[in-house]
Amino acid sequence: MPILPSCESALSSLPESLLVGVSGGVDSVALLHALVKTEHKPVVLHFDHGWRAESGEDAEFVRELAEQLGLKYIGDKMRSTAKVHREAEARTARYAFFAKTSKRLGIADLVLAHHADDQVETFLMQLLRGSGAAGRGMDPVSRRDGLVLYRPWLGIWKKEIMAYARKHRLEWRDDATNVDTRHRRNLIRQRVLPYLQKQIGKQVPDNLLRAAEISRAESEWLDALCADAADQSELSVKTLQATPLAQQRRTILRWLQARGAKDISFIDVEAVRGLLENVSPAKINLSAGKFARRRAGKIFME
Amino acid sequence: MPILPSCESALSSLPESLLVGVSGGVDSVALLHALVKTEHKPVVLHFDHGWRAESGEDAEFVRELAEQLGLKYIGDKMRSTAKVHREAEARTARYAFFAKTSKRLGIADLVLAHHADDQVETFLMQLLRGSGAAGRGMDPVSRRDGLVLYRPWLGIWKKEIMAYARKHRLEWRDDATNVDTRHRRNLIRQRVLPYLQKQIGKQVPDNLLRAAEISRAESEWLDALCADAADQSELSVKTLQATPLAQQRRTILRWLQARGAKDISFIDVEAVRGLLENVSPAKINLSAGKFARRRAGKIFME
C-alpha cells in the first residue's frame, strides 16, 4: 500500500541545491518552512506582480522571512505600467525572472508550492475549457526556460498545508497569486467543486486528483513514444499512417508545438491528420499565419 | 477539416448483417429508421426490463414498428420477479438476451443508439465517481459476450436525433432505459451539466465530448501496448520494472481484469505495483477474497 506523503516526507527526493518561489501566501511560506526543516537551504525568489497597491509589502515580508531563516533572498517586480496584467503575461514575466536568476546563480532546480487542490482545479479547468490534449494537470517534475520545476506537494491537500502552518505557528500574507486568477480558478474552487461534491459526493476531489495523476503519467508515457517523430522537421505520411489513431494525434500535436505553433486545438490536430488522406486538400491553415502542407509523402510546416 | 457526421452518414461503415437494440425511445426508433433509410435490414431486438407497469406496451410498439418496416422482431423480458432491478442486473440480463439471440441467428454485430449526450454523461460520471482508469467513455466498436457492439452515434447530439425524428415524423415511446438510470445519470444530465454550462460556458459538453474521444483513443492505444503482458498468467517483476509508471499501472489493471478480479480501484493497482519493490509485503489482498503475490521474480494472482 503506498504511504500517503506528509508535507515534509514529500520533500525527501529533492536535489540539494534549490531555488524556491515564495509569494508570501500560506502555501509557499509553509513550503519554505518545511524545506528548512528538512535541511534544505534554498535561495528564496519573490516576484511582485504589482496586482495590489500593497504588494510591495508582500516582497518586504518575504525578504524579512528569508533573512530570519538565514537564506539568500532575490526579488524582482513586474515592469509593465499597466494596472492589470493578464495572467499569461504575469506568468511569462515571473518565469523570465526565475530563469534569469537561475542562470546567474547556476542553480537550475526550482521548487513550487502547487498542491492537490491546485492540481484538481487545473485538471478540471483543462477538461471543461477544452485543450488540444485531454486534461492532464501539472507535472511533479517539468522543464521550462532552462529551469527544472519541482512540485512536490501535488499530492498534499490545502487543508494539510493549513494544518502544518497552524501547527508551526507560521505567519503569512494573503496570497497575491490568487488575485489575478480569481475569475477562472476561483469559480472552480469556490463554486463548481463544492457543487459537484454536494451533488455527487464528498469524494469528488479525490477522484479527480486520481484521474489527473493517471492522465498525467499516461500522457508522459505517450509523449515518450512520440518524441522521435515529433522531433523531426517533417512528418512521414507513410510512417504516421501505420500508427494508431491516438499516436497520430499525439505525434501531430507535439510536432506542431515543437515547430512553434501556438494554441493548437483538437480541430487543428484533426485537420493536419486529414493530410494523411489523399482526398483532402494538401494544405491546412493553422493559427498565426502558419500552414501545414503535404508534399512528396511528407508533412511540412510553413 | 473533418466533416461532421449526420444521423445517416454516421452509419456508412456498418457491416451489412446486423442486429439492432430498440427500446422504443426516440434514440433507438430514429436509429432504426436511419438504418432502414441507408438500406440496412437489421433484426430488431427488444428487451423488456419490466421497469414500468406499461412496459409490455413498449414491446408491442417495437414489434409493430418492426412489422411495418418488414423486419424480423425478437423480444424477451426480465425473468426476475423483483419489482425494481438494479441497473447492473438489468444490463447483464439484456446482454445475455442479445448474446443468446446473436448466437442463434449467427449474427455477431449489434448496433446501439448511444449518442454524444450519453457519452459526455458517461465520461463525466466515470471521472467524478472514480474508476481504476481515468474516464474514457464508451467505445464506438467494442466486444462483449461474443457480440461486436457498434455505437455509430457517439458523435451525434441528442438534439440532432430529435431533429431527425421530427423531420421524418417518427413516433416513439418514453425511453424505458431512462427510468432506471434516473438517479445517477439524470443527476448529471439534468443538474450537473446545465450548471457547468452556466458557470463555465456553453461549450462544456463539446469540450467533454472531445476529451472523451481523446482519452478513448489513447486508452485503446495503451491497451494494445499492454496486451501481451496482460495476457500472461503471471507478470515478470523485472520486465515491469523497466516500463514507464503508466505502463506498469495499465498492465496491472488489465492483467487483474483478465484474471477475473472485479471492481479494481486505483488503490488496488498501486498496491500490486508496490510488489515491484522488495521492501513491500509480498502479498496483497484484492476484493472478493483474491490475492496478488510476488514469488521468484513473478507476480501471481490467487
Percent of chain A with pLDDT over 90: 62
Instruction: Determine how β-strand A43-48 pairs with β-strand A19-21.
Output: parallel
Higher pLDDT, A300 or B54: A300
Higher pLDDT, A257 or A129: A257
- Per-residue pLDDT at B9: 94
Three-class SS state of A293: strand
- Nearby residues of A75 by Cβ (< 8 Å), 6 or more positions away: A45, A46, A47, A48, A59, A62, A63
- Per-residue pLDDT at A4: 67
Indicate the average pLDDT of chain A: 88
Select from A1, A134, A206 the Cβ nearest to the Cβ of B215: A134
Give the burial class of B223: count Cβ atoms within 10 A of its Cβ; 0-12 exposed, 13-18 middle, 19 or more buried: middle
Give dist(CA B94, CA A126) in Å, integer: 37
Partners of A134 on chain B (C-beta within 8 Å) are: 210-211, 214-215, 218
| Distance from chain centroid for Cα A288 | 24
- Per-residue pLDDT at B180: 47
Q: Do B214 and A245 touch (CB under 8 A)?
A: no
- Per-residue pLDDT at B147: 96
Amino acid letter, residue B228: D
Segment A13-22 mean pLDDT: 94
Segment A137-149 mean pLDDT: 92
Alpha-helix runs per DSSP H in B69-192:
87-105, 116-129, 158-167, 177-180
| Element (DSSP H or E) covering residue A215 | helix A204-231
Q: Do A207 and B2 touch (CB under 8 A)?
A: no
| Bridge partner residues of B285 (DSSP) | B291
Q: Which residue of B has its CA nearest to A197?
A: B128
Select from A203, A267, A274 the Cβ nearest to the Cβ of B130: A203
The predicted-structure confidence for B256-280, as pLDDT tens digits, reads as follows: 989 888 778 888 898 899 999 876 6
Select from A1, A244, A274 the Cβ nearest to the Cβ of B271: A1
Kindly provide the ipTM of the predicted complex, given to two decimals.
0.86
Selected residue of B195, B200, B276, B277 to mutate for chain A interface (largest A Cβ count, 10 A): B200
Phi, psi for residue A153 in degrees, rounded to 5:
-100, 15
Residue B132 has pLDDT above 90, yes or no: no
The predicted-structure confidence for B72-125, as pLDDT tens digits, reads as follows: 999 999 876 565 556 778 888 999 999 999 999 999 999 999 999 999 999 998
- Considering the entire predicted model, what is its pTM? 0.88
Partners of B246 on chain A (C-beta within 8 Å) are: 214, 217-218, 220-221
Q: Do B128 and A187 touch (CB under 8 A)?
A: no
The predicted-structure confidence for B22-37, as pLDDT tens digits, reads as follows: 999 999 999 999 999 9
Residue A279 has pLDDT above 70, yes or no: no
B209 Cα to chain A: minimum distance (Å): 10
Cell numbers representing residue A68 in the block: 530570519
Three-class SS state of B69: coil
Q: Which residue of B has its CA nearest to A187?
A: B199
Q: Do B200 and A135 touch (CB under 8 A)?
A: no
B87 Cα to chain A: minimum distance (Å): 18
Per-residue confidence at B291, pLDDT binned at 50, 70, 90? confident
Give dist(CA A219, CA A216) in Å, integer: 5
Q: Which residue of B has its CA nearest to A244?
A: B221
Q: Are B113 and B33 in contact (CB under 8 A)?
A: no
- Per-residue pLDDT at B2: 46
The predicted-structure confidence for A43-70, as pLDDT tens digits, reads as follows: 999 998 877 667 688 999 999 999 999 9
Select from A196, A244, A266 the Cβ nearest to the Cβ of B192: A196
Q: Are A130 and B207 in contact (CB under 8 A)?
A: yes
Tell me the torsion sign for CA atoms B240, B242, B248, B250: negative
Q: Do A270 and B2 touch (CB under 8 A)?
A: yes
Phi, psi for residue A189 in degrees, rounded to 5:
-70, -45
